[in-house]
Amino acid sequence: MPIRVAIDRLLDERGLSVGEFADRVGITPANVAVLKNGRARAVRFSTLDAICRVLECQPGDILIWEKD
* 29-65 confidence digits (pLDDT tens): 999 999 999 899 999 999 999 999 999 999 999 999 9
pTM, two decimals, is: 0.90
Rounded to 10 deg, the angle between the 18-25 and 29-36 helix axes is 110
> Using an 8 Å Cβ cutoff, are 59 and 6 in contact?
no
Greatest pairwise CA separation for the chain in angstroms: 33
Superfamily of domain 3-62: lambda repressor-like DNA-binding domains (1.10.260.40)
Compute CA distances 44 → 12, 32, 36, 51, whole Å: 23, 13, 15, 11
Alpha-carbon distance of 13 to 26, in angstroms, equals: 20
Domain boundaries, the chain: 3-62
